[in-house]
Amino acid sequence: MAADPSVPTAGDSPGTCVSLHLLGGFRLLRGAAPVVVPRGLQRVIALIGLRPGATRSQLAGLLWPEASEERALSSLRTALWRLRQDPCCPMSVTGDTVRLGPEVRLDVDDLVGTAARVRDGDDPRTAAGALAAGRHDLLPGWYDDWVLLDRERLRQLRLHMLEQVAGQHLAAGRHGEALEAALEAMAAEPLRETPHRLVVRIHLAEGNAFEAVHAFYVYRDLLRRELRLEPSPAMSALLDDTLAPIREASREGAVRPSPAGRRT
């Protein structure tokens, strides 16, 4: 393991910041220099980052689920020994637990921290990275069970964060910011109803009835086409007052008798 020789590393010191990126793919940086890590050790580093304070037995069982406990623990000891020989990503071992060193910054922690601030009611304008945080999936192309579990956990965390940001902006009358957050959530999961419902509410709050009705029918058509489902009653109820005159006119047009033909 070594820093990429194409990136200057002069001036690195023991206190150089190490950043571990797992969203969008595995990347390890020491300062500004990428560190080349074999795939097998990438899995070890990534899991330790995602399971801070996990015991050796827990890590070994997740990394080598098909091996016996003794063999899995032996493989983990070998991996940790290799990491200590070339401390590209500092580890902290306390008793039977292993975690990343305190100087390692993990992008997943940034997403979790941003979501926590939004959940606790911080002014969403102060969470400048809320829309961009977690925009990429966790370790795409990795199919370990623990990766799939955390990928879905973080995806749901981000969706709820964006919806909370949109709701907070809407409640404060910041319709443009609310719409931006709702559309970001919609892009992340096009079939999820909550962001579409938020978009309808935002348009209605602005007095844009046409935009609200258009957004509703776009989602309804998408849902019918992809899943053969209808929007929930809660979403339909948002437009009851707006659509009532249109529905009434349609019913009247359907039952109105055709005029008799003129006699000659």
Which pLDDT score, from 0 to 100, does residue 258 have? 58
**Domain-ending residue, one of 50, 76, 103:** 103
Are 111 and 22 contained in the same domain?
no
Are 203 and 142 contained in the same domain?
yes
Are 97 and 165 contained in the same domain?
no
Which pLDDT score, from 0 to 100, does residue 53 have? 85
In the chain, the number of structural domains is 2
What b/e string do you get for 210-238 counting C-beta neighbours within 10 Å, with b at 16 or more?
ebbbebbeebbeebeeeeeeebeeebeeb
When the pLDDT of each residue in the chain is averaged and rounded to a whole number, the result is 87
Burial of residue 184 (number of CB atoms within 10 Å: 0-12, 13-18, 19+)? buried
Per the domain annotation, does 264 fall within a domain? no
Q: Residue 160: which CATH number?
A: 1.25.40.10
Query: Structure pTM?
Result: 0.84
Q: Residue 80: which CATH number?
A: 1.10.10.10
Residue range(s) defining the domain that contains residue 214:
107-251
CA 194 to chain centre: 15
Are 156 and 190 contained in the same domain?
yes
Residue pLDDT, tens place only, 7-36? 333 334 455 789 999 999 999 999 899 999
Per the domain annotation, does 67 fall within a domain? yes
Residue pLDDT, tens place only, 71-110? 999 999 999 999 988 778 888 888 899 999 999 999 999 9
Are 40 and 164 contained in the same domain?
no
Helix (H) or strand (E) holding 106: strand 104-106
Per the domain annotation, does 234 fall within a domain? yes
Residue pLDDT, tens place only, 110-153? 999 999 989 988 766 666 678 888 899 999 999 999 999 999 99
Are 218 and 247 contained in the same domain?
yes
Per the domain annotation, does 9 fall within a domain? no
Residue pLDDT, tens place only, 146-183? 999 999 999 999 999 999 999 999 999 999 999 999 99
Neighbours of 260 (CB within 10 A): 6
Residue pLDDT, tens place only, 203-260? 999 999 999 999 999 999 999 999 999 999 999 999 987 777 666 666 666 666 655 5
**Domain-ending residue, one of 53, 75, 103:** 103
Q: Is residue 201 over pLDDT 70?
A: yes
State the DSSP code for 262. Answer: P
Per the domain annotation, does 10 fall within a domain? no
Are 227 and 180 contained in the same domain?
yes
pLDDT band at 2 (very low <50, low <70, confident <90, very high): low
Per the domain annotation, does 54 fall within a domain? yes
Burial of residue 171 (number of CB atoms within 10 Å: 0-12, 13-18, 19+)? exposed
**Domain-ending residue, one of 103, 123, 154:** 103
Which pLDDT score, from 0 to 100, does residue 261 have? 52
